Chain A
Amino acid sequence: MPLPDAKPSTRIYELLKNTDLENITFSEFQGVAKTIFAEQGAEDELRRIVLLNLARLSVVGEWTGLTSAGSSNEFDLQLPGTDTNSGNNNMYIVSRMPGWGVTSSSTTSLGSNEDPHFWPWISPKTGNLTILIDVVSDGTGVLGLAVYSDVGGVPYAKIGGDYSYTFGSTGTGLKTLTPTADVAVERGKQYWLGVVETTNGNGAIRGEYALNSHVAGPAFPSLSNLQNAAFYGVALENSNNTLPAGPITATDFLTNNDGQPRWAAQFG
């Protein structure tokens, strides 16, 4: 008996013919389903995607996660996420916080680059994001920053507007950057900070030491040993001086061996 009022399947069941429910992998299912359009003409296939996914998961095991709050592990680390000191302590130094921040207070100078560089971060709060950077060499050029969504552990698409700092305009020290349009983020969710030199110059901001940084991207397998682990994020070489709107093709990403900016966040 088909789904109520549905026409015969032209894609889902055809492509998965002879596949057992208990043997289908997520990637097989995803490959068949992801190109379906979210349109009325495909509504029957959308219903079948949901039905098949629930059926697939029904044979995986008990749905314990459905009725438990958060992790089943007794260890439940929480990021700092509540302003203290009567609300005066409301700046979150993300590049020093778990899970992608560093544990060392030492910093270095991060010169800008015409190729967009990206580093992952996890938002400690929900709200509209203001970014704070620390200018250490107020030379020339313009620095651009933007926040990207994460899909599969790489940047995907820009969220909201861009942030910008024009070097040589206000001297060294802490700079509060507001975006051209609201950048809405959610507590506990992973994002990527994109940084690029939108106008070439010699200005620099404070950065985290690369040697203190987590590996945040895959390495190429031709390494002769594992001493070199300089894969601290991802970068693009096909988007000079521009932070692309995305979606970004994941296979375009290359190695980013710079430490992330020493940066902080406030939430409106």
Chain B
Amino acid sequence: MSLIQNILDDTVQDRTRGLDYAAYAVTRDSGAAGESELTVLIRSHNDQIESLLKKFGCLGRTPTEQVELWEQLLPRVHGALRGLDREFAKTGQGENVRVVFDIDMGGLYYTRIGTHAVLFGATLDQDEVNNGRCERDMYRMVAQIEAVSTSHGA
């Protein structure tokens, strides 16, 4: 698992911006109705969050609180996507694999890795969403995690 920690740190703590936060989580099916529990195993965030919160006028929020908000959100995103998987079954197009949310202040990124893991990324910086940098960060981390998972059974 330290290999995956290094992969997240190398990307998120890069000073040239990109994603501000990433989390690697595992999922476990938990019921006949298709529910799935999600547990965050590894996370990384950078120190750009504080300046971005100030820049966007979120003066009462600390970086720690922002990270907690993202971690509270992750199971909700995962649960909602599982719900939409069932909705999409009618389209014949299979389940969600990669999802990008472009919101007013930055973006959220969700990618499934295999059948029981998820990589979640977030940024507060809209420029980094618009220029595609965060999507490239996600692609690179997913490829690296898949490579070590195959090699080491992580």
A binds B: no
Binding site for B on A (CB under 8 A): none
Binding site for A on B (CB under 8 A): none
